[in-house]
């Protein structure tokens, strides 16, 4: 299974996952290593907060904050599409970078070179220790697919799980249309 996953892979929660941290989630893997484990961010769980509400010395900026995952929820991370401008960013896939120099990010925002559509902020992250994700994949907890920058920057988060699932085609289109809560009579 681990051959299929790498940095830049998307994990889609299987439709019956009950873990509230990951129910109907779309997780972008930003760092995957067999030796060190995996780090990713849930792309579709908007917290209804603005970044200015969480970071006091941040420039005025109308950017929403998302729930990145249950690990270190006292931390803030960001994924963006301005890697060429933001020093020390890590390229995840074409058009998507993770992190970078925080002071320079504030400068770029103040200079109006980074707009809210260029970046997404996350509270916490999703993490798996070595071998943990492989076990979850073996159990069928996740559907694997590839990442495209438009999933992050040109989609509404509340329909992202369905859209990415449908883009896989075939049986996944049927899965995407399944009700969020099945009623067993």
Domain extent listing, the chain: 9-175
Produce one character per residue of 109-127: b if its CB has 16 or more CB atoms within 10 Å, e if not. Answer: beeeebeeebbbbbbbbbb
Q: Are 38 and 21 in contact (CB under 8 A)?
A: no
Dihedrals φ, ψ of 153, to 5°?
-105, -10
Per-residue pLDDT tens digits for 52-68: 999 989 999 999 999 99
Return the closest-CA partner of residue 78 out of 100, 103, 107, 49: 100
The pLDDT > 90 percentage for the chain reads: 75
- Give the model's pLDDT for residue 169: 83
Q: Which residues have CB under 8 Å from 108's CB, separation 6+?
A: 82, 85, 86, 114
Residue 143 is inside which H or E element, if any? strand 142-146
Per-residue pLDDT tens digits for 6-28: 999 999 999 888 898 999 999 99
CATH code of 9-175, in short, is 3.40.1740.10
C-alpha to C-alpha distance for 26 and 67, rounded to whole angstroms: 11
- Give the model's pLDDT for residue 177: 73
- Give the model's pLDDT for residue 185: 43
Average pLDDT estimate for 92-109: 97
The total number of residues shown for the chain amounts to 185
Residue 103 is inside which H or E element, if any? helix 102-110
- Give the model's pLDDT for residue 2: 44
Mean pLDDT across the chain, nearest whole number?
A: 91
C-alpha to C-alpha distance for 122 and 77, rounded to whole angstroms: 5
């Amino acid at each position: 299974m681990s051959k299929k996953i790498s940095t830049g892979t998307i994990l889609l929660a299987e439709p019956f996952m009950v873990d509230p941290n990951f129910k109907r989630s779309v997780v972008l893997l930003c760092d995957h290593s067999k030796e060190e484990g995996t780090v990713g961010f849930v792309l579709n769980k908007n917290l209804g907060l603005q970044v200015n509400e969480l970071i006091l010395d941040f420039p005025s900026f109308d950017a929403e904050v998302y729930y990145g995952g249950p690990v270190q929820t006292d931390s803030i991370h960001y994924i963006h599409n301005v890697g060429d401008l933001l020093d020390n960013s890590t390229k995840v896939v074409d058009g998507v970078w993770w992190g970078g120099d925080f002071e320079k990010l504030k400068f770029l925002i103040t200079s109006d070179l980074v707009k809210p559509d260029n970046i997404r902020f996350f509270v916490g992250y999703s993490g798996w220790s070595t071998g943990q994700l492989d076990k979850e994949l073996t159990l069928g907890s996740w559907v694997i697919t590839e990442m495209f920058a438009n999933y992050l920057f040109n989609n509404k988060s509340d329909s992202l799980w369905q859209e990415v699932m449908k883009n896989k085609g075939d049986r996944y289109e049927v899965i995407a249309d399944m009700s969020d809560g099945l009623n067993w009579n």
